Structure 1
Amino acid sequence: MTDAHNDVSDWWTTSIIDMEPGKIFFRGHPIEQLIGNASFPEMIWLMTRGDLPTAGQAALLDAALVAAVDHGPQAPSIACARMAVTCGLPLNNAMGSAVNFLGDVHGGAGEQAVELYQKIDAEGGPDAVPEIVRLWRESRGKYVPGFGHRFHKPVDPRAPRLLGLVDEAAETGDVDGRFAAIGRAVEAELGRGRSAPVPMNIDGATAVIFAELGFPAPLARGIFCLSRSVGILAHAWEQSQQGGRNKGPTPPAYRWTYDGPPRGGASS
């Protein structure tokens, strides 16, 4: 016969948390030892990876989290949060609605850039960049994730700073720097033969960090969601203090373009 207790307790299995009355362990670490000693980036690493990072690795992850917290009300996810609040939603609902906006187009470029860098790395590193970029464009379209920016020209100010921190971490041995070299090689390839460069943007730079730190590509998007949630929360809270009801994407005086049948129905 099946042990009923085991049948229930084995319904979910996890190596993340062990708990009983009065005791909580995250990945084997007592919570009371983590509180006050582990930073939030270290906890993200521990919970998703199973171990604790070095101080240098945690600092790099922290930098990536800080860099991507917000990009203004014109970002769809931020606009969504603010509109949700004006519709009467509390902060948690506004945040949930906004995070759901972070898909392949808005919010997914970091994951895609990590995937691209890892493909290049698997094929031999920077020397493989021209061929892998060509194949990427053939299968995914001309857009190469992590490069160029419609707003920040000529340079996304976040990218050089993040790459500089990666270089410093490579000097101390916390990362080996090979993905930074790959990212720079992609940037050079995209700018080849053009009158203006196609510089690395925030997604490309944070992807360098996630790849250097050994995160799988899908986790890059999850971590970006954690980062952007800070900005989402801040904007939702600010909007709640400003007031406003049922604010749409444009002021009421502006109308959309209608291109349907003429008023009054079809003419005979």
Structure 2
Amino acid sequence: MSTTNTTTPDLAALCADYWSTSITDIHPGSIKVRGYPIQELIGNVSFPQMIWLMLRGELPGDEEATLLEAALVASVDHGPHAPSIAISRMATSCGLPINGAMASALNALDDVHGGAGQQAVELYADIAARIVAGSPFEAAVEAGVDEFIAAHGKYLPGFGHRFHPVDPRAGRLLALVDARVASGTIKGRYAAIARGIEALLKKRKDRPVPMNIDGVTAVIYAELGFAPELARGVFCLSRAVGILAHAWEQRGRGERNKGPMPRQIPYAYTGAPERHLEQS
């Protein structure tokens, strides 16, 4: 004999649990973010502080917030030859609205173009774990670098730059990191690891391979306690500003169907020469 479940589920509780969140609580006439009424946050916290609150649940200190802000400012743009920026401009010329152009560009920020910051944080964290486990500093750096290269190839994220002999953003950011270490805001563990990687690369290659923007912002995100995936997410927030600016500029030009290079410049065709179907 079959039995019928006569228990009536609490549908209100089921629905409440389905999209449960610890981030924002909204009721008619009330919006609280992480417990703070939104009207108290407006005009009193900066956008970097708001990002931190949303992602971490608490407000950062002033020095933490300004260091995060510096990383955000440094990463907004790298010119129209950057793939994500070029995509935003091409998409705009193809008729996409601003949101479509931004979405197209942001989707390009994956492992190769846009993922170096996350990968550098992961590399730093691996080396830090080796040190905590008792490995001497230089041995931990060398083992971490070697394992990363064995797993991912010779490209080491965060070091060297295809365009800049010395990344003009890196020195300023490192100075801000050092200032926060001196003030006790951050510990400097990941800054030391990144500099240890620099020293190892210089020794191996017999020339400097300095940190680039991804390597230094990875130091900042790691020092501030952001998870590796959030390092990429925060970078996307920053680069979205440059993407928006370029899409808007392109919209004002009135160009249509802008391709990846001027049509006057030919590409190299490497296929078969002209041929024809045999007639039966």
TM-score class, shorter-chain normalisation, is over 0.9
TM-score scaled by length of structure 2: 0.93
Match of 2:4 in 1: none
Rate the CA distance shift 1:266–1:109 in 2: closer, same or farther, 3 A: farther
Question: Deviation per CA, 1:155-209, whole angstroms, max 9, x where unpaired?
Answer: 1011111111011011111111111111100111111143321110000000000
User: Which deviations, in whole Å up to 9, do the C-alpha atoms of 1:28-83 show, x marking residues without a partner?
Assistant: 11100100011000010000111110000000000000000000000000000001
TM-score, with normalisation over the residues of structure 1? 0.97
Within the candidate set 93, 101, 106, 1:99 is matched to 106
CA distance in 2, matches of 1:229, 1:4: 40
Which residue number corresponds to residue 52 of structure 1? Answer: 59
CA RMSD, Structure 1 to Structure 2 (Å): 1.3
Higher mean C-alpha displacement, 192-201 vs 39-48: 192-201
Question: What is the letter of the counterpart of residue 254 of structure 1?
Answer: I
Letter in 1 for 2:215: G
Distance 2:277 2:193 in 1: 59
**Structure-2 residue corresponding to 1:185:** 196
Question: Which among 65, 80, 85 is matched to residue 87 of structure 2?
Answer: 80
Matched position secondary structure for 2:87? helix
Letter of the aligned partner of 2:198 in structure 1? E
Identity across the alignment (%):
59
SS at match of 2:274: coil
- Which residue does the alignment assign to 1:145? 157
Counterpart amino acid of 1:181? Answer: A
The residue that corresponds to 2:244 in the other structure is 233
Match in the other structure for 1:167 = 178
Confirm or deny that 1:264 pairs with 2:275: yes
Q: Which residue does the alignment assign to 1:223?
A: 234
Does 1:129 find its partner at 2:141?
Answer: yes
Cα-to-partner distance string for 1:212-242 (whole Å, 9 max, x where unaligned): 0000000000000000000000000111112
Task: Please identify runs of 4+ aligned residues in structure 1 that moved more than 3 A.
Answer: 265-268
**1:267 offset after TM fit, Å?**
8.0
Q: Distance in 1 between matches of 2:128 and 2:59?
A: 25
Distance 1:4 1:88 in 2: 45
> How far is 1:261 from its partner?
2.1
- State the distance in 2 between where 1:193 and 1:142 align: 13
Question: Which letter maps to 1:137?
Answer: I
Structure 1, unmatched stretches of 5+, are none
Give the residue type in structure 1 aligned to 2:219.
V
Q: Distance in 1 between the 2:123 and 2:96 partners?
A: 38
1:62, 1:82 → 2: CA distance?
26
Query: How far apart in 2 are the matches of 1:98 and 1:184?
Result: 32
Aligned residue type for 2:83: P
User: Secondary structure of the equivalent of 2:205?
Assistant: coil
Quote how far apart the aligned CAs of 1:138 are.
Answer: 1.2
Secondary structure of the structure 2 residue equivalent to 1:124: helix
Aligned length: 267
Q: Distance in 1 between matches of 2:153 and 2:54?
A: 35
Amino acid at match of 1:120: I
Task: Kindly indicate whether residue 26 of structure 2 is the aligned counterpart of residue 19 of structure 1.
Answer: yes
Amino acid at match of 1:240: R
Q: Does residue 208 in structure 1 map to residue 219 in structure 2?
A: yes
2:12 corresponds in structure 1 to: 5
The aligned counterpart of 2:5 is none
**Mean Cα displacement is larger for which, 2-11 or 50-59?**
2-11
Aligned residue identity for 1:200: M
Cα offsets for 1:109-153 (capped at 9, x unmatched): 000000000011111174310111111111111111000001001
Query: What is the alpha-carbon distance in structure 1 between the residues aligned to residue 145 and residue 262 of structure 2?
Result: 42
Give 1:264 shift: 2.7
Instruction: Tell me: CA distance 1:2–1:165, structure 2 relative to 1, closer, same or farther (3 Å).
Output: same
